[in-house]
């Protein structure tokens, strides 16, 4: 399984040079973007240019050094990394991490705000024998330390929900209920969940009803075909157009970011996903 930190393959760069159709897709009701890591072998400027031609709104999961690049193409970074010392296995569920996370956010969140980045990512961390109840209490305490920084800068901290069954064994925020319980207790308009549809389909299913019941606490979405985290096409078990329509019907105003590892021509796969989810 390929991760965000790994290269996707040297063949993508050759595919990128082929370009895409010049006319953008209709805007639709969702603000769609694309995750950078899935196209690591395409230079960021080329990816931004292609995304703009497709009618996308931005690029997801950029480091601060790259925040300004999408702006040259009329886009924005839609989700940034603002605390490199917080990782998927080492996150908010341990109090010994809180001081370092707070220090990182005191620099990283104002930096994101200055660049017009609306969201920064956060992780629960792995269980390592800790109960979910203790981890939730710890995460709440950690988020209470930093929520004012986010509120003062108009940036939303998004805790990502990931599956612990296939990709991230032992990750604590592996069910929507855990994340919602944390967000409710923190009770800040600037602390929400990154609802990754790929991960939650693996862990829970029942996507549309879960999203509908919890939309108040959901600040961002990621896509990815199930199984395999590949193209959003007929080989996948999720009805992407129906899910996208249900989110749009709820009046969701955040970003809906594509985070799948493309098969075949990568930009054609992305454009097809954009069309499928334009509702």
43-93 pLDDT per residue, tens: 999 999 999 999 999 999 999 999 999 999 999 999 999 999 999 999 999
Question: What is the value of pTM for the model shown?
Answer: 0.90
pLDDT band for position 13 (cuts 50, 70, 90): very low
Q: Per the domain annotation, does 161 fall within a domain? A: yes
3-class DSSP assignment, residue 255: strand
Domain count, the chain: 1
Q: Are 173 and 160 in contact, with CB atoms under 8 Å apart?
A: yes
| 170 dihedral zone (left: phi>0; alpha: psi -120 to 50; beta) | left
Within-domain flag for 56: no
Instruction: Write the pLDDT tens digit of every residue in 89-107.
Output: 999 999 999 999 999 999 9
Cβ contact 240:215 at 8 Å? no
Q: How many residues does the chain have?
A: 279
Residue 229 in any domain: the answer is yes
Q: For residue 9, is it within any domain?
A: no
Helix, coil or strand: residue 46: helix
Which residues form the domain of 118? Answer: 76-266
Number of alpha helices (DSSP H) and beta strands (DSSP E) in the chain: 9, 8
Asked whether residue 239 is assigned to any structural domain, the reply reads yes
Transcribe 134-197 into DSSP letters. Answer: HHHHHHHHHHHHHHHHHHHHT-EEEEEE--TTTTSTTBS--SHHHHHHHHHHH--TTEEEEEEH
Q: Answer whether residue 217 is part of any domain.
A: yes
Asked if 111 contacts 82 with a C-beta cutoff of 8 angstroms, the reply is yes
CATH code of the domain in which 206 resides:
3.20.20.150
Q: Specify if 38 maps to a domain.
A: no
Contacts of 62 by beta carbon, 8 Å cutoff, 6+ apart = 36, 69, 70, 77, 79, 80, 81, 117
């Amino acid at each position: 399984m390929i991760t965000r930190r790994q290269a996707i393959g040297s063949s993508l760069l050759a595919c990128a040079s082929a370009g895409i159709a010049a006319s953008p897709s209709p805007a639709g009701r969702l603000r769609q973007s694309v995750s950078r890591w899935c196209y690591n072998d395409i230079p960021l400027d080329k990816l931004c240019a292609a995304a703009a031609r497709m009618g996308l709104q931005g690029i997801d999961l950029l480091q601060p050094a790259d925040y300004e690049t999408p702006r040259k193409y009329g886009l924005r970074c839609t989700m940034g990394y603002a605390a490199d010392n917080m990782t998927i296995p080492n996150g908010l569920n341990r109090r010994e991490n809180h001081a370092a996370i707070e220090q990182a956010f005191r620099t990283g969140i104002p930096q994101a705000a200055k660049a017009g980045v609306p969201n920064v990512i956060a992780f629960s961390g792995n269980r390592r024998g800790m109960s979910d109840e203790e981890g939730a209490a710890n995460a709440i305490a950690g988020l209470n330390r930093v929520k004012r920084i986010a509120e003062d800068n108009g940036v939303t901290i998004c805790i990502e929900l990931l599956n612990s069954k296939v990709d991230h064994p032992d990750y604590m925020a592996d069910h929507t209920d855990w994340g919602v319980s944390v967000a409710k207790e923190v009770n800040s308009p600037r602390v929400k969940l990154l609802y990754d549809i790929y991960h939650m389909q693996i862990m829970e299913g029942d996507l549309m009803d879960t999203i509908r019941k919890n939309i108040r606490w959901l600040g961002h979405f990621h896509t990815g075909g199930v199984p395999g985290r590949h193209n959003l096409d007929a080989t996948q078990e999720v009805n992407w157009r129906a899910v996208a329509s249900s989110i749009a019907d709820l009046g969701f105003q955040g970003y809906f970011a594509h985070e799948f590892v493309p098969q075949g021509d990568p930009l054609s796969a992305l454009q097809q996903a954009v069309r499928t989810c334009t509702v």
